[in-house]
Chain A
Amino acid sequence: MTTEHSSTPTVRIAGLSHFFGTGDNRQQVLSDVTVDIHPGEIVMLTGPSGAGKTTLLTLIGALRSLQEGSLSVLDRDYSTLGRTGLMQARRQIGFIFQAHNLFSSLTAFQNVRMALELHDCSPQEMANRIQALLTRLGLGDRMTHKPEALSGGQKQRVAVARALANRPRLILADEPTAALDETSATNVIGLLREMAHDDGATVIMVTHDDRMMTHADRVIHMIDGRIATDERPNGAAT
């Protein structure tokens, strides 16, 4: 196993705090979070609801603007980025949401293609990549199906394919396997492991799924907006 801790961290967080609301309703959701996450790591983010996991994920994903502290992702310092900068930063990240959020009017193939069209990619290359990816996820015979003709698990796998199609160097996932049966879940986590361990991508996943825990390189447990524990269960080098 290669752990390139000598390289620049994918995510570098220092003194990160975040608040919701204003005035008397102001609530602190993240307090002074400091953590580095490295290429090739699969990180599970755990903790009770309201612990700030999702907020942390959206901040790393450039879906929210920064309030306090510093946050650098894939060599971009978010504190210096405006709307357009954040939008460009998001293009380097693969997002997997709890809901599949597929366009009901587009086929599985077209839904995945939407992600590729943001990047310089010839139609032929797009087709090859989508085909390979969907086949890998067991959807080779479902490419021209629209979401209404797919099962819940199949739709979720299409959404995974859409997130991974650009070969992002950072993948942010929120309960990606909740809707999946055993085989599909194994399939998806296998693909994520491949991308992390072979291509050096970083995976950050909010999950309560115990099946996933065994695949984690690192488990960060959050309570009340703070990092409570940060462990490497498989004895990976620090």
Chain B
Amino acid sequence: MLRRTPLAWLDLLHHRRRFAMSVTGVAFAVFLIFVEVGFLNGVYDSQTDLVSHFNAELIIVNRLKEDVRPLIPFSRGIAIQALAVDGVADVYPVYADSGRWKNLDERVSHFALTLGFNPSHPVLDLPELARHQHDLQLPETTLFDRESRPFFGTVKLGQLAEFERKRIVPIATFSLGPDFRTDGMLLMSDTNFLRYFPNPVSGEIEPDRIEFGLVRLAPGYSAADLRTRLTEALPDDVSVLTKPELMQRVRGYWKRSKSVGMVFGIGAAVGFTIGVIICYQILFTDISDNFPQYATLSAMGYSGTFLMKVVLQKALLLSLFGFIPGLLLSGSLYSALQRWTGIRMWMTPDRVGTVLLMSVGMCVIAGMLALFKVLKADPAELY
């Protein structure tokens, strides 16, 4: 038997209808926060997803490049120069451009982001890429992103298709997914790439303009140290970044120039505030109903601290019980949204943890506001 009667818990359970409604209210607020946090991270995760799949410790990009798009190429010669720096095991030059893929069902073209590279380089950590590296050496072959938006039409593997008004054969698919700027994606050999994307004016093949230089480290070298030395060795028109740094730069770009942090941050704050209000209403009603009882406890010699604890325990229980349905609901919405829109809606443990903390904070703030009421419980009024 417990030493203490769990008053907060029994009180909540006793008013079943009210408890159910309270939990629903808190769950709704948790859901709102999850949606906003989900969209915010969805933007960041979607925009950085390609970079996160690069097989590289360091990435060389044009100094002005802040996102995967717009494309801002730099000289392939610089990437070759990096090979000479001590500690660099290999450099993979990656071409990128946007090309028109014809939807064969509807006879309309849509732009797809295309990466070109030497197929013997493991540029991306995609299993399909490793499996088809030899096939990609053949002319007019490509890998097609099966997560691309549906308007690219039916893509039949091994069958002739049209890309940049030329013949192409998708030999396999991989899975990466669209983002806020890219609807579909192709991977191909650098040789093929240069054929599809010649210089628009001269029509000549122009192999010097690459988008990414992926640097592989020799064993025993640190990325931070090599980053410094590469920055010194290479011309000023490029930046040498670690993979996390480049991802951070992309995030920062979306945060600043697209104000996504602001937009969804305000959304999350609204959800939080609604949660505080709902929670406060619940706790306030509860205290009002039990006011003479709390005053009686105070008359019996219970301290103000005890009454505060009861209220805060209720707040905590509400936040935890509201969190669970809120989480489940958000989880289903996340997977549905990811399926429909291709936006990366990832329910990672740290995000679940953050929202859990927010929901606890929400109810505790409401509890503290409600405390003003409970501390007014004056036992002298009871007679």
Map CB proximity to B onto A100-134 as digits: 1 under 8 Å, 0 otherwise.
01111110001001110110000110010000000
* Beta-carbon contact of A105 and B13 below 8 Å: yes
What distance in Å separates the Cβ of B296 from its nearest Cβ neighbour in chain A?
4
Any chain A CB within 8 A of the CB of B300? yes
Any chain A CB within 8 A of the CB of B1? yes
Choice from A87, A88, A99, A104 contacting B382 with Cβ under 8 Å: A99
Task: State A54–B290 Cα separation when bound (angstroms).
Answer: 23
Task: State A64–B381 Cα separation when bound (angstroms).
Answer: 10
> Which chain B residues border A197 with CB–CB below 8 Å?
none
Choice from A64, A103, A115 contacting B290 with Cβ under 8 Å: A103
What distance in Å separates the Cβ of A110 from its nearest Cβ neighbour in chain B?
5
Any chain B CB within 8 A of the CB of A171? no
What distance in Å separates the Cβ of B13 from its nearest Cβ neighbour in chain A?
7
User: Among the interface residues A58, A124, A146, which one has the most CB atoms of the partner chain B within 10 A?
Assistant: A58
Task: State A110–B2 Cα separation when bound (angstroms).
Answer: 11
Any chain B CB within 8 A of the CB of A41? no
Number of interface residues, chain B, beta carbon within 8 A? 28
Any chain B CB within 8 A of the CB of A91? yes
> Which chain A residues border B14 with CB–CB below 8 Å?
104-105, 146
Any chain A CB within 8 A of the CB of B201? no
* Beta-carbon contact of B383 and A118 below 8 Å: no
* Beta-carbon contact of A106 and B380 below 8 Å: no
Task: State A90–B303 Cα separation when bound (angstroms).
Answer: 11
> Which chain B residues border A124 with CB–CB below 8 Å?
1
Choice from A98, A115, A117 contacting B4 with Cβ under 8 Å: A117
* Beta-carbon contact of B13 and A115 below 8 Å: no
Any chain A CB within 8 A of the CB of B299? yes
> Which chain A residues border B10 with CB–CB below 8 Å?
103, 105-106, 110
Choice from B296, B301, B380 contacting A101 with Cβ under 8 Å: B296
Task: State A206–B13 Cα separation when bound (angstroms).
Answer: 37
Any chain A CB within 8 A of the CB of B139? no
Task: State A61–B300 Cα separation when bound (angstroms).
Answer: 10
Choice from B1, B301, B380 contacting A87 with Cβ under 8 Å: B301
Map CB proximity to A onto B1-12 as digits: 1 under 8 Å, 0 otherwise.
111110100110
> Which chain A residues border B15 with CB–CB below 8 Å?
105
> Which chain B residues border A58 with CB–CB below 8 Å?
379-380, 383
> Which chain B residues border A64 with CB–CB below 8 Å?
380
Task: State A174–B293 Cα separation when bound (angstroms).
Answer: 16
Any chain B CB within 8 A of the CB of A97? yes
Map CB proximity to A onto B286-304 as digits: 1 under 8 Å, 0 otherwise.
0000101101111111110
What distance in Å separates the Cβ of B306 from its nearest Cβ neighbour in chain A?
9
Task: State A97–B298 Cα separation when bound (angstroms).
Answer: 13
> Which chain B residues border A106 with CB–CB below 8 Å?
5, 7, 10
Task: State A114–B306 Cα separation when bound (angstroms).
Answer: 12
Interface residues of A (CB under 8 A from B): 54, 57-58, 61, 63-64, 84, 87-88, 90-91, 95, 97-99, 101-106, 110, 113-115, 117-118, 123-124, 127, 146, 162, 174, 206
Beyond the given A90-B301, A110-B10, please list 8 additional residue pairs across the A-B interface where CB-CB is below 8 A: A61-B379, A87-B303, A97-B299, A106-B7, A113-B5, A114-B7, A118-B302, A123-B1
